[in-house]
């Protein structure tokens, strides 16, 4: 059975069956022309949208449908995290090929709903349509942040230190591993059944863990002068913060927290682990600029955010981004670009 055998109403019923009861602030949820919600009291609203398109952001040959749903929402949660915002709601806009199996539809929604529940995010509505080509998962999220606590890209100053959360390169290595293994037994297993058998890097690619709690703490305790997430890779993120803030940045290659499994993988392929790790997207870690005098606040962020923060460089006067390794300096290589 495919989604073409179901009516729009039946598909919506399947989504509703996979969601928890709506919270009191959701006055009207799924099923009317639009959702109606009470804004969070004394908060600013934070809004973001991200599209996951088959053939661009995922390959159904090796991405189980649950992971597609998980990743599409994770990318959005990561944007909220990068602003220091707490998640509230999501709208799902799905474009479904007529051949998309109804079971995969269930699994996709399950993957998304599981991550939503983990972050107390509620699906308020959405849109379903046919797609004449790729599977399309377009997710809009809304979150809230206290006034003057939003983390922007533009606040870094010369002398600020640059930190990155967790490890980098894992998702890029995981994607390469998936592409390299032509016959994988990965078509369907959801997160709980695969986590024990998958390579850690593959797991990081398929089921990234957006740094929602870390971002929220960084916003509340004013530890960060600038912040963004690594959806398009570390090299891109450093450049974006430097450009938005009107500063230059120096990144120390030796200090980069490259995931050890990823480093081994890149080396086994004859590739440069540093270049692969900084260019690779999909890590969904946070890049954070910190004034030296507020550095001690990072300890609390680390303690409660559940993830390590590693100093990787420093902001300086001027413009441009430099990668320093073995005493030499080179311009930071370009990261992942969508339109090239």
Asked if residue 27 binds a second copy (CB under 8 A), the reply is: yes
Task: Give me Rg for the CA atoms of the chain.
Answer: 20
Q: Pick from 54, 160, 283, 285: which binds a second copy (CB under 8 A)?
A: 54
Nearest residue to 320 via CA among 311, 329, 328, 312: 329
DSSP one-letter code for 4: G
Is residue 68 within 8 A of residue 137, CB to CB? The reply is: yes
Residue 102 binding a second copy, by CB under 8 A? no
Strand-strand pairing, 286-290 and 161-165 = antiparallel
Q: Does 274 bind a second copy (CB under 8 A)?
A: no
Question: Which residues, numbered 121-180, are part of the site for a second copy (CB under 8 A)?
Answer: 124-134, 136, 138, 140, 142-143, 145, 150, 152-154
- Please state the closest distance from residue 257 (CB atom) to a second copy, in A: 21
Subset of 309-338 contacting a second copy (CB under 8 A)? 337-338
269 binds a second copy (CB under 8 A): no
Judged by beta carbon, residue 92 or residue 194, the one nearer a second copy is: 92
Extended beta strands in 54-174, E state: 86-97, 122-131, 136-145, 161-165
Q: Does 55 bind a second copy (CB under 8 A)?
A: yes
| CA-wise closest residue to 176 among 62, 333, 323, 36 | 62
Q: Does residue number 106 form part of the binding site for a second copy (CB under 8 A)?
A: no
Whether residue 140 contacts residue 79, with contact meaning beta carbons closer than 8 Å, is answered with no
Using CB under 8 A, which of the segments 87-95, 175-183, 185-193, 252-260 binds a second copy? 87-95
Residues 132, 36: Cα–Cα separation, whole Å: 31
Question: With respect to a second copy, which residue has the nearer C-beta, 134 or 158?
Answer: 134
71 binds a second copy (CB under 8 A): no
């Amino acid at each position: 059975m495919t989604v073409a055998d179901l009516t729009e109403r039946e598909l919506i019923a399947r989504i509703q069956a996979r969601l928890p009861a709506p919270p009191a602030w959701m006055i009207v949820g799924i099923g009317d022309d639009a959702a109606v919600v009470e804004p969070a009291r004394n908060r600013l609203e934070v809004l973001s949208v991200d599209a996951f398109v088959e053939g661009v952001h995922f390959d159904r040959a090796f991405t189980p449908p649950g992971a597609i749903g998980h990743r599409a929402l994770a990318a959005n949660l990561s944007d909220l995290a990068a602003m220091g915002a707490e998640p509230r709601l999501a709208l799902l806009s799905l474009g479904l090929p007529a051949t998309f199996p109804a079971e995969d539809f269930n699994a996709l929604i399950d993957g998304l709903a599981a991550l939503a529940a983990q972050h107390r995010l509620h699906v308020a509505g959405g849109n379903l349509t046919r797609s004449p080509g790729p599977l399309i998962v377009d997710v809009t999220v809304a979150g809230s942040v206290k006034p003057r606590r939003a983390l922007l890209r533009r606040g870094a100053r010369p002398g600020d230190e640059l930190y990155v959360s967790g490890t980098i390169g894992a998702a890029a290595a995981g994607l390469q591993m998936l592409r390299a293994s032509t016959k994988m037994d990965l078509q369907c297993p959801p997160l709980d059944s695969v986590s024990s058998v998958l390579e850690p890097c593959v797991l990081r690619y398929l089921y990234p863990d957006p740094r929602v709690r870390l971002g929220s703490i960084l916003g509340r305790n004013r530890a960060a002068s600038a912040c963004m997430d690594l959806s398009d890779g570390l090299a891109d993120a450093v450049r974006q913060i430097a450009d938005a803030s009107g500063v230059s940045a120096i990144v120390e290659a030796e200090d980069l927290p490259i995931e050890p499994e990823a480093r081994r993988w890149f080396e086994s392929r004859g590739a440069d682990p540093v270049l692969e790790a900084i260019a690779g997207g999909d890590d969904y870690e946070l890049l954070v600029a910190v004034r030296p005098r507020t550095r001690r606040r990072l300890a609390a962020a680390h303690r409660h955010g559940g993830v390590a923060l590693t100093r990787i460089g420093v902001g300086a006067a001027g413009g441009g981004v430099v990668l320093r390794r073995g005493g030499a300096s080179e311009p930071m290589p370009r990261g992942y670009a969508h339109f090239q």
